[in-house]
Structure 1
Amino acid sequence: TDFQSAPSLREQLLYVWVLSLICEEFRQKAKMYFTELWNILDVLSSLLFCLGLVFRLTTELFYTGKIILCIDFVVFCLRLMAIFTISRTLGPKIIIVKKMIMDMFFFMFLLSIWVVAYGVAKQGILIHNDSRLSWIIQGAIYEPYLIIFGNFPKDIDSDIDSCSMNGTDPLKPKCPVLNENQMPAFPEWLNIIMLCVYLLFVNILLLNLLIAIFNFTFQEVQDNTDKIWKFQRYELIKEYYRRPATAPPLNIYSVFHYFYLKIMRRNKPRKHNEFKIQLKPEVEKDLLHWEGLMKDRYLLSARQEQSQRTETCILDTSQR
């Protein structure tokens, strides 16, 4: 909360710490870098921090820089989820969350069709010639979205003081169309039917579809929890094995030393073979023989399982 115009000592130490993190990201190889979500979050957090720092040190853009740094803090917090990959229990759960986010992303396209369809139709029936873009978006998109969660809009009711007749009050929505008897000009039954159909499809059909998709994703990952955790643990160990021994911001010396050897001395990059074991020819031959034996056992087990499934299906069909 202590965010003054001049950076304090603690804030300057934070700058050094983030700078060391940025240097560490530059040290890593760019090949296949952006295929990992954590690397994307690293780059995004670094870019947001640099942008927020520039704005923060500019008097005219001071508050804008504060907003960017607050958003950057959220990205840094999300990046902390990577430490849970070492856990056998929480590691696979992160994979489940990532897959569910992708499922929800594609589900939002399907949901947006119903939200826009109902919202635009409802707004066109109730309101006539409202030129305020903010209230149009609120009535056509925001309010139908809130209805999904049971939050029905209460800004327009029988009280004439809750809305603006001509839409001149920027703090109030425009009142519905009225006839000469000061009664709603639109058919109220039509609006009720549209709302019921909208709630039927969105709250019952689409949301249950999303729950079914989440259940399938959860079960798919849960069935392979041990394999997923082992791969996560291997990647995490390999990543930290190749990092400097000191943590930020004490790793600045190691990073500068790495760039000095790579750029100034023009040395060839050292290949990492720490996770490869050089075996003797006879040991390698025995290992290949063992791998072939395990492959044959696995294929035999898969055939037997497939045969049992086929026999079970035939038996179930005959019993019917």
Structure 2
Amino acid sequence: VVMAIDVEIWWLRCLSFIIVIPSMGPHLVAITKMLKDLSFFLIIIAVVMIGYGVASRSMVYYPQGNNVTLTTGSPDTSFSGRAIFRNVLYPVYYLMYGDFGDERTDLDNNSGTAWATADQVLLAIHMIFVNILLVNLLIAMFNKRFDEVNEDARTVWHSQQYLFTREYFTRSPFMPPISLIYNIYYLSRMLVFFIRREFFHGSADRSAKTFKIIAINKDLLEEWREFEGASTYTYALNEVKILKAASQKFKKGSDSSSTQKETKAGNSEDLNEAADNVRDVQDNLSKLNSTIEGMKLGFKNYFM
């Protein structure tokens, strides 16, 4: 049983190898997010199913009123995990898929009794709430989730490709169980360099794998993000200004000869504006260089 479940998990794990494919990766991400939505509904459905199962079985299998005993070949009503799952949870679960089994037959055969009538009403309410309301609400949430992922499919794919690459970058180059030996070696190496750095003031492990620099202080990470966003925005804005000035210069240069004087004046203004933009870019670059030098000093304080 354990090996069979292990094979099933292994096949599901193979889905991670195709997540980098642009046409399939976003769909796998949508499935992952749908599972998160499904977990919330499973709790609600489980509560409703257990409530109906306990209430209906307590009426149907009541020993004194309905002549339900172990000697007559009736279901096992003992309070055990196997009996509860077999007689309460298992048949009620398949009601969600429209499989009634002997549920309706047992109730129709005892239509003249009060417990059968009450159970029929309880079954109708249960089917309306679970099969119509909850299931359709779950389908609507799945559609919304897929639309959200589909609109941003390219970004999601790049993100998953990055995570997949980073995962296998940090993994052992050997397959299990040989990878365990490599992991022990790598852990021992980290411990040795940690002792050298902390107690003997030695240098860090320069040959260690580093995919991303992670600061100890979370505030420094936030400063890095703000710096990157501001620098990118400033650079993009200046580039747009320069391209806009160049396009205006090209359009004015193609005017007729009757407007050459005005065009020359406009071109000179555009050139002056472009020169000002270039100077602004140079000033921003000098500021960035000074900021980077300051960050290098901060890196030494955090990582050296």
TM-score band, normalised by shorter chain: 0.5 to 0.7
Aligned to 1:154: 102
- Tell me the distance in 1 between the aligned counterparts of 2:236 and 2:2: 55
- Secondary structure at the counterpart of residue 87 of structure 1: coil
Determine the structure 1 residue equivalent to 2:121.
193
For the structure 1 residues 269 and 71, does the alpha-carbon distance in structure 2 shift closer, same or farther, using more than 3 Å as the test?
A: farther
CA shift in 2, pair 1:109/1:216, >3 Å: same
Q: Report whether the alignment pairs 1:292 with 2:234.
A: yes
1:126/1:176 contact within 8 Å kept: no
Amino acid at match of 1:240: Y
Residue 36 of structure 2 is aligned to residue 102 of structure 1: yes
Which residue of 143, 163, 168 maps to 1:215? Answer: 143
In percent, how many aligned pairs have the same letter?
A: 23
Shift of 1:190: 2.6
- Alignment partner of 1:141 is 2:89: yes
Query: What is the count of residue pairs matched by the alignment?
Result: 203
Give the alignment's TM-score, normalised by structure 2: 0.54
By percentage of residues, which structure has more helix? 2
Residue matched to 1:132:
78
Provide closer, same or farther for how the CA distance between residues 118 and 96 of structure 1 changes in structure 2, counting only shifts above 3 A: same
Change (3 A) 1:294 1:253: same
- Are residue 205 (structure 1) and residue 151 (structure 2) matched? no
Structure-2 separation of matches of 1:177 and 1:136: 24
1:90 matched to 2:51? The reply is no
Larger radius of gyration: 2
List structure 1 runs of 4+ shifted beyond 6 angstroms.
Answer: 175-178
Question: Unmatched 5+ residue regions in structure 1?
Answer: 1-66, 159-174, 277-284, 298-320
What's the secondary structure of 1:151's corresponding residue?
A: coil
- Are 2:41 and 2:138, in contact at CA under 8 Å, matched by a contact in 1? yes
- Which amino acid counterpart does residue 217 of structure 1 have in structure 2? R
Deviation at 1:70, TM superposition (A): 2.5
Residue 318 of structure 1 corresponds to none
Q: CA RMSD in A?
A: 3.8
Local SS of the residue matching 2:99 = coil
* Contact in 2 for aligned 1:84/1:91 (Cα 8 Å): yes
1:75 aligns with 2:21: no
Residue 307 of structure 1 aligns with which residue? none
Q: In the alignment, what sits opposite 2:160?
A: 232
Matched residue of 1:86: which SS? coil
Following superposition, the deviation at residue 228 of structure 1 comes to 1.1
Distance across 1 between alignment mates of 2:84 and 2:187: 55
- Describe the shift of the 1:289–1:198 C-alpha distance in structure 2 as closer, same or farther (beyond 3 A): closer
The runs of 5 or more residues in structure 2 that have no matched partner are: 69-76, 197-203, 214-226, 240-304
Rounded Cα–Cα distance in structure 1 between residues aligned with 2:167 and 2:84 = 50
Q: 1:80 to 1:189 in 2, by over 3 A?
A: same
